[in-house]
Structure 1
Amino acid sequence: MAGKTSTMMPIISKLYCSASQKVFVVRRRPHVVNGGGFVVTDCSSQKVVFRVDGCGILGAKGELILRDGDGDALLLMRRKGGMVEALSIYRKWRGYSLDYEGSKNLVFSLKEPNSCLVRNNLIRISTEPSKSTNKAWDFEIRGYFPDKICSIVDSKGNVAAQVGVKKEVEELMMGSKDLYNVMVKPGIDQAFVFGVIGVLDYIYGESTYC
């Protein structure tokens, strides 16, 4: 059985690590053309804490930006392209933290299987510096994101965050996945979690993709 995460694991910043479990609501940004992105609200405070701008806003495919509630850019997610990428057994994304001067610092890499030669089809994430001492990856995605039933799990099997849809919400939305919940465990960097979710959203052709 997965253990509990009790220590702080800042990846973007310790400002986004909470001592208690947090539940968020993700909603596709309304009245925006394809690739507009989504908004993240804290269930307890009802405040917008993050938003992800997709390629319809940024004007560049394979690029996303995570912003805080004030609109300041926190994280740039960029897909690696070119012929090497096309021939690789993985599609790769890189996440860069952004400081107030716009400087970029690599904080995570995400690998999406791009070939039947891969032993399993799990999407895996490595952080910089690595949080794992015995594996080549730090987190993996278990479950299927388009169904909104999936988890971000660390290399020890601990659940860091879970994506789901409450039954009453699903009934209200008539099966639509435009509104869903994300539960983030204590100590886990929430900005990192929503950066990863932004990439998953793009990979599966949802609100950030165009």
Structure 2
Amino acid sequence: MAEGSSNLMPIVSKIFCSPSLTTLVVRRRPHVINGGGFVVSDCNQKVAFSVDGCGILGTKGELVVRDSDGSLILLIHKKGGIIQAISTCSQWNGYTMNYEGAKDKVFTLSDSKPLFALRRSTKIYIEPKRMNKDYYFEVIGSFPQRNCSIVTSKGIVAAQVGFKEMNGSKDLYSLVVQPGFDQAFVVGVIAILDYLNGESTSC
């Protein structure tokens, strides 16, 4: 995307969209905090986002993304119930909170269960359907190996996960968000991938 406010793509909020390339660093919280989550810092080592996992929230299948001030900006729930239990995919919903305290769904992530798919497929659909119904995001590559990208259905890369330079630990990795894309949304997707792979946010 070229620079300019007209090319910003807000999903959580336009305040989290930058017209320039943004490199973030994700650091997992200490292992002593079961399901504690992780912290996302900018290039100046200032906290940009934090994610609380089920060990802090006390509820499995629930995640919270906070901004640099610690304010809740994204609430993420795993969909439950009998229908979901027998489904070939697990589903997660991301919500923002409006001024009245009501939840507004902004995206749905669908992840194929290993028993029902030859290859794992993770797609994210934007809510409400303000875009073409064929428009979605997809995770390509391996999150556990810290080598994956979040791309649009048109093949445009929105964000990339990789090992931080000079560091081979999975507890510290880079997250590069391309110009115009919503960083809070990307962090929300990373939080779910973290949980699905039994990492820092899961119990």
Give the TM-score of the pair, scaled to structure 2: 0.92
Query: Which residue does 1:195 correspond to in 2?
Result: 188
Query: Which residue does 2:87 correspond to in 1?
Result: 88
**3-state SS of paired residue (2:200):** coil
Match for residue 179 of structure 2 among 183, 186, 200: 186
Give the superposed CA RMSD. 1.8
Match for residue 158 of structure 1 among 149, 156, 172: 156
Whole-angstrom CA distance in 1 between matches of 2:114 and 2:38: 29
**3-state SS of paired residue (1:147):** coil
Change (3 A) 1:131 1:146: farther
Q: Deviations over 1:61-107 (max 9, x none)?
A: 00000001111000001001122111001100000012354321000
Counterpart of 1:164 in structure 2: which amino acid? G
| Equivalent runs, 1:18-167 vs 2, <5 Å | 18-30=18-30, 32-43=32-43, 45-114=44-113, 116-118=115-117, 120-130=119-129, 132-133=131-132, 135=134, 137-167=135-165
**3-state SS of paired residue (1:70):** coil
Change (3 A) 1:68 1:33: same
**3-state SS of paired residue (1:168):** coil
Whole-angstrom CA distance in 2 between matches of 1:26 and 1:101: 32
Counterpart of 1:143 in structure 2: which amino acid? G
Change (3 A) 1:134 1:86: closer
**3-state SS of paired residue (2:35):** coil
Change (3 A) 1:99 1:34: same
Unaligned runs of 5+ in 2: none
Deviation at 1:118, TM superposition (A): 4.3
Whole-angstrom CA distance in 1 between matches of 2:26 and 2:138: 21
Whole-angstrom CA distance in 2 between matches of 1:209 and 1:178: 14
Moved more, 138-147 or 81-90: 81-90
> 1:75·1:96 contact (CA, 8 Å) conserved in 2?
yes
Change (3 A) 1:70 1:101: farther
Query: Which residue does 1:169 correspond to in 2?
Result: 167
**3-state SS of paired residue (2:25):** strand
Give the TM-score of the pair, scaled to structure 1: 0.89
> 1:5·1:160 contact (CA, 8 Å) conserved in 2?
no
Counterpart of 1:153 in structure 2: which amino acid? V
Task: Find runs of 4+ consecutive structure 1 residues off by over 4 angstroms.
Answer: 115-120
Unaligned runs of 5+ in 1: 171-175
Counterpart of 1:28 in structure 2: which amino acid? R
> 2:66·2:74 contact (CA, 8 Å) conserved in 1?
yes
